Amino acid sequence: DTAVSQTPKYLVTQMGNDKSIKCEQNLGHDTMYWYKQDSKKFLKIMFSYNNKELIINETVPNRFSPKSPDKAHLNLHINSLELGDSAVYFCASSQDPHEKLFFGSGTQLSVL
Amino acid sequence: DAKTTQPNSMESNEEEPVHLPCNHSTISGTDYIHWYRQLPSQGPEYVIHGLTSNVNNRMASLAIAEDRKSSTLILHRATLRDAAVYYCILRPYSGAGSYQLTFGKGTKLSVIP
């Protein structure tokens, strides 16, 4: 069983569309994250949730909205997609902020 | 944020040991030293972490300088599967900074058969 799973793996869409990326972890972890890896391969934190509460919200446009229906899920909804949103998005989880992170395999988003 | 400095790239022959250096001269007393790696087309993977003492696990060893201003990740026998980008990251034990990993550019390790 995959510990942290993201869907879809690939997402190709047009500018202006709204899309969602789903993330689920079956590790029983309390903390979940979204990271973005751009074309230059830099990985940056976007959001961090602990027990469904938003802890970190980095400088991310309001078009990005994380939603945590329960501790095992942290979905990422993106409104009005732009060309610059093209990147690989990684979901991750950890038991608590001091423990190691487990990452999903990523969602490659291409905005045309 | 405390920063780390790593070489952009390194090469190793298969089945030889690899020493990946990391400088973190501005490390604070509550910063843990974490290492993650990212294999091609995969998410980052935890390797090891430590605070002051050297650490060993099944994947690697972490040697931490006595003044904690540098550390070295040691892969005892490099395999082709170890070819990846290795990230050295400082992570505070507490506070908002503990909720995130701040990735730098990392070291791209190539393993030569």
Tell me the nearest-neighbour CA distance from B73 into chain A, angstroms: 17
The token duo for B110 is 């190539």
Peptide bond into A61 cis (omega under 30): no
Measured between beta carbons, the chain A residues lying within 8 angstroms of B105 are: 41-42
- Residue A2, classed as helix, strand or coil, is coil
Which stretch of DSSP H or E encloses residue B84?
strand B84-92
Q: Which pLDDT score is estimated for B99?
A: 74
| Contact assessment for residue A23 and residue A32, using Cβ atoms and an 8 Å cutoff | yes
Question: Checking DSSP bridges between strand A73-78 and strand A64-70, what pairing results, if any?
Answer: antiparallel
Residue of A nearest to B101 (CA): A45
d(CA A62, CA A57): 10
Residue of A nearest to B108 (CA): A41
d(CA A29, CA B76): 31
Phi then psi for A85, rounded to 5 degrees?
-80, -10
The residue type at B108:
K
Q: Which pLDDT score is estimated for A59?
A: 77
Surface of A (69-108) touching B: CB under 8 A: 90, 92, 97-98, 100-106
A7-18 confidence digits (pLDDT tens): 999 999 999 999
Q: Which residue has the tokens 């405390």?
A: B2
Q: What average pLDDT does the segment A50-77 reach?
A: 89
B23-79 confidence digits (pLDDT tens): 999 999 889 999 999 999 999 999 999 999 999 999 999 999 999 999 999 999 999
Question: Checking DSSP bridges between strand B84-92 and strand B107-112, what pairing results, if any?
Answer: antiparallel
B30 touches chain A (CB under 8 A): no
A67-96 confidence digits (pLDDT tens): 999 999 999 999 999 999 999 999 999 998
pLDDT band at B1 (very low <50, low <70, confident <90, very high): low
